[in-house]
Structure 1
């Protein structure tokens, strides 16, 4: 199944030249329906917060931001309830350097960035793919069986261990559709 990831900032001309005949699908928070539902910012609701039994979030990004711990700010449970796809990010400019991600909303352990990806982000995003967007995942499988597919994202890094830039959820979609999901840390 030929599915690739490209940067959303590329021009349509550049994408057409690089991927002639491909279905180009934006899966960012700026995408239209139905593909915007694959964005980690999309407020599906009911997304279980890893290592926090009984607590859910509106979105995957809400979980990621809520569990982030800074030099001057601990977890922010309010991020779990955000339904607007905006106002989710918590920044070093406001809160100082990131110390890690809390291992669950009430956990006492801070996780390193790569461990947090495996223990928080991957399980939360996989849950959305398996419980909230199964129809879209099947559409992608079908499209990829007929034509090349290019998913647009702001980042294109799909290597879970490469922490130089944020992880591309589009790359994770590719891995999931192709049954190559990265190993999670339980």
Structure 2
């Protein structure tokens, strides 16, 4: 199944990225998907999802916990971990393994692996939709008879803004 980019969610690395619209669209998709799946997006789960969409910087569980505590939510680590587990199960978030952090899924409801571009300077990250990469990996794996149990593709480098800043 091909994953198409949502024009309402321009690349997080683009200068004209409408972040407010990005968050709004992500929350609407999450509410729709949860309703479709008969899953409950509780206030804590919703707030955790909003926080991981608040910037395009992957957030760790303890960063989320700190923010939730400031806002008066239950400040116990299991609260955040349960919310994150729910978001991962529903396909609303991805775990970025190398950072032990989480980012919102830009294509919830579409079964896919997350491929990520991660800026080593500003910390921004973006999910890279790539059905052709996924297909190529499936073929390579199949030819070798290998059973994949987990898959993470993370590309680290510089986003356009940071590249521009470093060149000056």
Q: Structure 1-normalised TM-score?
A: 0.29
Q: Structure 2-normalised TM-score?
A: 0.31
User: Relative contact order, CA 8 A, sep 6+: which one is greater?
Assistant: 1
